[in-house]
Amino acid sequence: MAKAYNWQLKREVEYPYEPKRPKRQFAVVMDLNKCIACQTCTVACKTTWTPGRGQEYMLWNNVETKPWGFYPTAWDVKLLELLEGNKKTVFDAPEGERVLGWRPEELDWMHPNIGEDEVNEPVDVGTVLEGLPHPIWMFYLPRICNHCTYPACLAACPRQAIYKREEDGIVLVDPERCEGYQECIKACPYKKVMFNFVARISQKCIGCFPRVEDGLQPQCVITCIGKIRLMGFINPPDRARPENPIDFLVHIKKVALPLYPQTGIEPNVYYIPPINVPLSFLRQMFGDGAEHAVKTYMAMREGKEPELQALLHLFGSTPRIPHSFAVEKNEVIAYDEGGKEIVRVPIVEPIQYRPHKDPRLEVVRQDIP
């Protein structure tokens, strides 16, 4: 076993292959304070990539309701049991196994919306919630493949049918090499590798790599109604660039956090935690940085983090991948890889005052005093 440095855990972890970071790493940030579980992202992904036979219950993108929603059933409860909370990584496997994991049953995939819209405890009629966080809560958790830096699926595959692209860090399954052993499904702690019972091979989110190659963000990102997602490329902390939107959110402001970082595989989908949820639950999901992330987000809402507030306006503003950003007066500007401006968004929408009597148009507006 080789040694790989995991910056999320701030220590080395064991990995079956010699660790090598790609030239650049695909990453997505999602703001959980804005997700409304409209499932537009799920439908966009489903209709684009998994409409075929054997893919009926296959959702590369799904949205779960926490704390009771799962897809597949109880995936994160079982994960925490395997890791004993945060005492182990997935590479602390018994002798004879490469990765610590479990394989869902077929029925576990058939109830993707179980627990939808259930809160953490019963609500009495007439209950009024005041202040944050409050005792009754829920939130939506969108999930895609994390395209991990040290993928457990890749480590577990006996056929070496899973590989990580050097140019963008996207993790893919080679259908010509896959023999359907399903070791990848067992190994993935997030259960984002799935089995096609017709094709008899494993399949997973491909990061919309044809779009990424053209400089475009994935389908789930650009179709998001709530504008909660932003895709870009992340650097390790020692090479973080403040003008890089993903680096700014993850490394500079530390407001976006990985899901279950204790897995040890360095996932590359990051979440801005919901501010209405108790910190104990958020720490379990996102690690010790949860409190700082919530405080920073609250400060942004109060106008104390203007640059962060400006950057969040870029979410959902352009189909193109923003490689850098800048704030000028009342606008936030995104640039492509070559430094060309791709979008300019006002931070505060301008207010237009129209007179009751408009002599130029010779009209009287009845709805204006």
- Span 3-59, pLDDT tens digits: 989 999 999 998 988 888 999 999 999 999 999 999 999 999 999 999 999 999 999
* pLDDT confidence bin for 368, thresholds 50/70/90: low
What's the DSSP call for residue 351? P
Kindly list the domain boundaries of the chain, sorted by start residue. Answer: 1-305
Contact of 216 with 320, CB cutoff 8 Å: yes
Alpha-helical runs (H) found in 214-322: 219-222, 245-247, 279-286, 290-301, 306-312
Q: Is the pLDDT at 369 greater than 70, yes or no?
A: no
Instruction: In whole angstroms, give the CA distance from residue 160 to residue 120.
Output: 42
Q: Is the pLDDT at 130 greater than 60, yes or no?
A: yes
**Exposed, middle or buried by CB within 10 Å (0-12, 13-18, 19+), for 261?**
buried
Task: Give residue-wise pLDDT tens across range 264-323.
Answer: 999 999 999 999 999 999 999 999 999 999 999 999 999 999 999 999 999 999 999 999
* Minimum mean pLDDT range among 79-83, 125-129, 292-296, 343-347: 125-129
What values do phi and psi take at 186, rounded to 5? -65, -40
> What's the CATH architecture for 1-305?
2-Layer Sandwich (3.30)
